[in-house]
Amino acid sequence: MSHVHTDEPDSPAHRGRVLERLLEEAGVVTGAELDAFLDRLPATSSPANGARIVARAWSDDEFRQRLLDDGAAAIAELGYSVGGGPAVVLRVVENTEQVHNVVVCTLCSCYPLALLGPSPSWYKSDAYRARVVRDPRGVLAEFGYFPNEHVTINVLDANAETRYLVLPRRPAGTDGLSEEGLAKLVTRRGLIGTAAV
């Protein structure tokens, strides 16, 4: 069985990272500009899809439990799929007062593209992939997020067979918001775990 989860020089993921790095080094584009462009891509592959899923989970406890039990089946109820073929499993992990989850793919950049849109440049960077495993609190601090010391940080390594979606904690004071209003609060960084909502 062949896997696209590779960091070989001839792999598409590796070539894409090299091209991005060269464009950034040449001053043609910045990582932030690339991320802004990716955020504007069509809704078929968008962080808005993941945000809608989270908003439903925040609004419907039964859906939330189904999402945590079987992510792919639950998102199918809303018309979404993980993408990547039938063998790809979606694991949804919930942030709580005691646990914060953050996702990485240490080998390349496996990621639920259909739910989060194209992965941001920092997610694919060698620095993020190496450092978040060794120093998750330090990396989160660089993103401006500072979990309390008593919070356990789980670093989840995505791969060709398993993709992750973080279910962030619902912000306080949002009880009166509709699902649409809640979805507007959710960011791609929150769905990866490098930010709170």
> Smallest Cα–Cα separation from 56: which of 160, 177, 155, 172?
177
Give the chain's radius of gyration (CA, Å): 17
Q: Which stretches of 64-176 are assigned E, i.e. beta strand?
A: 89-94, 99-104, 152-157, 162-167
Q: Is 45 a catalytic site residue?
A: no
Q: Is 125 a catalytic site residue?
A: no
Neighbours of 106 (CB within 10 A): 16
Q: Is 110 a catalytic site residue?
A: yes
Q: Which of 46, 105, 119, 121 is catalytic?
A: 105
Q: Which of 110, 121, 125, 178 is catalytic?
A: 110
Q: Is 59 a catalytic site residue?
A: no
Q: Which of 108, 119, 121, 178 is catalytic?
A: 108
CA 49 to chain centre: 12
Whole-angstrom Cα distance, residue 9 to residue 78? 38
In a 3-state reduction of DSSP, which class is residue 99? strand
Which pair of structure tokens corresponds to residue 70? 């079987």
Q: Which of 2, 59, 81, 109 is catalytic?
A: 109
Q: Give me the active site residues, please.
A: 105, 108-110
